[in-house]
A and B are shown apart, each in its own frame.
Chain A
Amino acid sequence: MRRQLIRWVVLLYPTSYRATRGDEILAGLLDAADDASRLRFLTHVRSVALHALAVRGRLATGGDRRETLRQGLVLAGVAVLGIKTGTEVGTLAWPWAFTVALLLTGLAILLVSRRWWQHVAGAVLMVVAAHEWPATGHVLPGVGEISLELLGLAAMLIAAGRGRSSPLRILAGISASWVLLAGFDPVGPTFMFSMEMGVASLGLLIGVGDARVAAATGFGIALYGIQQVARPDRWLTQFPGPLGLYAIVAACALALTFRRFQGEAPTRP
């Protein structure tokens, strides 16, 4: 059981990284399997899995464009298949909307973390991609709700690659998202909530450790709040408040964990 788990964890690493470090990490995990208690072993496995995702994020934002697109698609695929379709395999199909959404996701991830205008374009595309995902909902129940994870995922990728970004750049990204959000007709409650979560987590993830960016994020969220007051018919009454709060807290925790494995946040061993 432990060895099987180890194999799966090592497979989380990108191929290029696995080729150079895979054997070493496999050996380390095998040592842990032989030596550590069950709980401690699971801690090691979890940490290695997070490290693998961090490496993927780093490659996606720091490598060349082909590699970026490939990693983005892999991550999106993992998210879709792993998170949402686990209990709905019987309904799995491959509609064109799904392909479009996937390609948009990859393109968005490709664009983020580049130059200033590309970053904004990436943020715009993320919103468009998130808009596309719910359209697949009638064909793939559950998959359509991926926009929530998609935005969180994209935010993680950005956080991994950018470190402390310019507040202006973050503000531009958040504002672009919000403007687009305001311009779209909501396609459903999932989309609206996803955007709330996405906009908040995007800024918070990047803003961890940087008060100026956090302030810019607060501004973005405030803009969203204005819209909430102005158009309460859209979603205000559809979601319990604590849910959004929990989501934001979870996003922050994820960000801290993720950046810790990037060596950008204090590690608490």
Chain B
Amino acid sequence: MQHASFLVLSALAASGPAHGYGIVRIVEQLTGGRQGLALGTVYGVLDRLLSEGAVEVAFETVESGRLRRSYRVTRSGREALAGEVRRLEAHARLGRRVLGPSFREQV
């Protein structure tokens, strides 16, 4: 899974339905501002996740004359996210084991 896809799915899983720029803001909040997504990246990722069935359109609203199309994670999207988390955890475990005590010293 691409890093941007992971962040978008995480944002939607954490906050519930959100629109494009809302996802950008949620990612910034979730990561404490350490990571950010550009808007075009979010729309590109949404295109792909929509085609894969990982997200779906939750609802549309119009606020101040602006169309808000909000997206939510589907069941398969959650499964994909969970699978990615398991994969990352396995990598982290491997990294800790390989680095051993030096890792704990660095931390």
Interface residues on A, range: 20 to 34
Task: Contact check, B2 vs A51: say whether CB atoms are below 8 A apart.
Answer: no
Summed over the interface, the residue pairs from A and B with CB atoms below 8 Å come to a total of 89
**Interface residues as binary, B1-13 with A (CB distance below 8 Å gives 1, 0 otherwise):** 0111101000000
Task: Contact check, A269 vs B38: say whether CB atoms are below 8 A apart.
Answer: yes
Task: Contact check, B39 vs A29: say whether CB atoms are below 8 A apart.
Answer: yes
**Interface residues as binary, A247-265 with B (CB distance below 8 Å gives 1, 0 otherwise):** 0000000000000111100
Confirm or deny: B41 has a beta carbon within 8 angstroms of a beta carbon on chain A: yes
B70 (CB) vs chain A CBs: closest residue = A24
How many residues on B have C-beta within 8 angstroms of the other chain's C-beta atoms?
28
| Surface stretch bound by B, among A42-50, A68-76, A212-220 | A42-50
| Surface stretch bound by B, among A30-38, A130-138, A232-240 | A30-38
Q: Enumerate chain B residues within 8 angstroms of A27, measured Cβ to Cβ.
A: 19-21, 66-68
Task: Contact check, B45 vs A269: say whether CB atoms are below 8 A apart.
Answer: no
Q: A25-B43, A268-B3, A269-B37 are in contact. List 18 more A-B contacts (CB 8 A).
A: A23-B67, A27-B20, A28-B21, A28-B39, A28-B42, A31-B21, A31-B66, A35-B21, A47-B39, A51-B40, A51-B44, A52-B40, A54-B44, A260-B44, A263-B44, A267-B2, A267-B41, A269-B35
